Structure 1
């Protein structure tokens, strides 16, 4: 498999499949594919897998694209203006991907959905079910806005707004921390909790969140109705 990422503020991913190669993706992100590409829609894990993916905020099924005889090309796009990041999983190991950030991956990549009893994840706004990628292939995530990434040394921490987290390596310690101060909690407009991530590891962040975008667009909608 080979790939190219095109564009600037609304990027697309072009994947070249050699005979025998296959990729899978979230539903709704396909732009085009050459006629010789075989496509199938599957629900890995059966009914349980569907329920777990629904709880994680991802699509209920996955689309698979296969090149059976000749070189084929498949193109994908992001759901919002943003950037596509290729993650070589042999370099990072298991990567936790937050809801809606997964785009596609080579079929050799293990794409899993797991539940956790960490109530802090739920209070932090990221739910009790999360998605992970691991294996020897390459996974691709969609980052809204600009990509902000940071490498944390062992014991180094950062506080992050939960809505801005796109992905992070699984070795990082994830804890929820309440925002300090009543006035900050009531009037700061940044929620009640922050996420403390502690290294070692890498994290990838969205520079814009859907929540903030909808808030801005809603203001324009109200102006239009009032006018």
Structure 2
């Protein structure tokens, strides 16, 4: 089933605001903290303090680098002394970013997503790197997301995580045995139970001149995944073509 609403239900204390360029506001109980990529914060209550630190240690930082995230993350904690709740609001880095809120406990505590899509998380959610085997004659290990890269992001743990896609973002749920073929660049992320096969376009001419990208992904159920209509790779390609015409 396809849903144009990427966030069917939202966890308690999480609110997504806006339409074209969204932000997410997250409540923080006394002592509770949230991790976020640098530069994502829009505003926060006065009882929330920001600290930049190496989340999870050196190896975890290296894993984040492979997945397209910074070595260091910003940590926002409610340090108020009066016992009142705090809040923080964050936004994506690109114009037109839409925010997807993931309840990790309802998604099997593991979710795979496109490079650079992570925005923030709270609870025990950790960010790592994963690679996907491309099915085809070349047999390369490659994952195509916002850019051509070997690695994608792997979110694991309990709690809430937010990722971002661009353009129109849809939520798709596949039942066991159901499959869908999509432009690999359009994949924002998918539940770990989803089968994912990356394949090269059968025709070199179609890959070079068809405008659909070099790869497509075959997704199989059961599970949930999200698609975006304006991935960064497609936008960059459009800007390049416009530049060539202008010259």
The question of a shared fold, defined as TM-score above 0.5 by the shorter chain, is answered with: yes
What SS does structure 2 have at the residue aligned with 1:92?
coil
Q: What does residue 120 of structure 2 align with?
A: 104
Residue 138 of structure 1 pairs with residue 166 of structure 2: no
CA contact 2:98–2:167 (8 Å) conserved in 1: yes
Distance 1:170 1:163 in 2: 18
Structure 1 residues 181 and 117, CA, compared in 2 at 3 Å: closer, same or farther? closer
Is there any run of 5+ residues in structure 1 with no aligned partner, and where?
none
Q: What does residue 230 of structure 2 align with?
A: 208
CA contact 2:68–2:116 (8 Å) conserved in 1: yes
Q: Which digits, 9 at most, give the CA deviation of each residue in 1:66-117, with x for residues without a partner?
A: 11223222110111212112111121111112111111111x1321313447
CA contact 1:124–1:194 (8 Å) conserved in 2: no
CA contact 1:179–1:185 (8 Å) conserved in 2: yes
CA contact 2:28–2:78 (8 Å) conserved in 1: yes
CA contact 1:54–1:60 (8 Å) conserved in 2: yes
Is there any run of 5+ residues in structure 2 with no aligned partner, and where?
1-11
Q: What does residue 5 of structure 2 align with?
A: none
Bigger shift: 116-125 or 164-173?
116-125
Distance 2:163 2:130 in 1: 21
Distance 1:66 1:158 in 2: 41
Structure 1 residues 185 and 218, CA, compared in 2 at 3 Å: closer, same or farther? closer
Structure 1 residues 154 and 131, CA, compared in 2 at 3 Å: closer, same or farther? same
Distance 1:5 1:74 in 2: 12
Q: What does residue 97 of structure 2 align with?
A: 82
The alpha-carbon deviation at position 154 of structure 1 amounts to: 0.9
Structure 1 residues 32 and 118, CA, compared in 2 at 3 Å: closer, same or farther? same
TM-score by length of 2: 0.81
CA contact 2:143–2:150 (8 Å) conserved in 1: no
Q: What does residue 169 of structure 2 align with?
A: 147
What SS does structure 1 have at the residue aligned with 2:173?
strand
Structure 1 residues 44 and 83, CA, compared in 2 at 3 Å: closer, same or farther? same
CA contact 1:52–1:129 (8 Å) conserved in 2: no
Distance 1:209 1:117 in 2: 19
Q: What does residue 29 of structure 1 align with?
A: 40
CA contact 1:155–1:199 (8 Å) conserved in 2: yes
Q: What does residue 40 of structure 1 align with?
A: 51
Residue 125 of structure 1 pairs with residue 141 of structure 2: no
Which one has a larger percent helix, Structure 1 or Structure 2?
1
Q: What does residue 177 of structure 1 align with?
A: 199
Residue 91 of structure 1 pairs with residue 106 of structure 2: yes
What SS does structure 1 have at the residue aligned with 2:237?
helix
Q: What does residue 6 of structure 2 align with?
A: none
What SS does structure 1 have at the residue aligned with 2:105?
helix
Q: What does residue 13 of structure 1 align with?
A: 24
CA contact 1:2–1:16 (8 Å) conserved in 2: yes
CA contact 2:128–2:155 (8 Å) conserved in 1: no
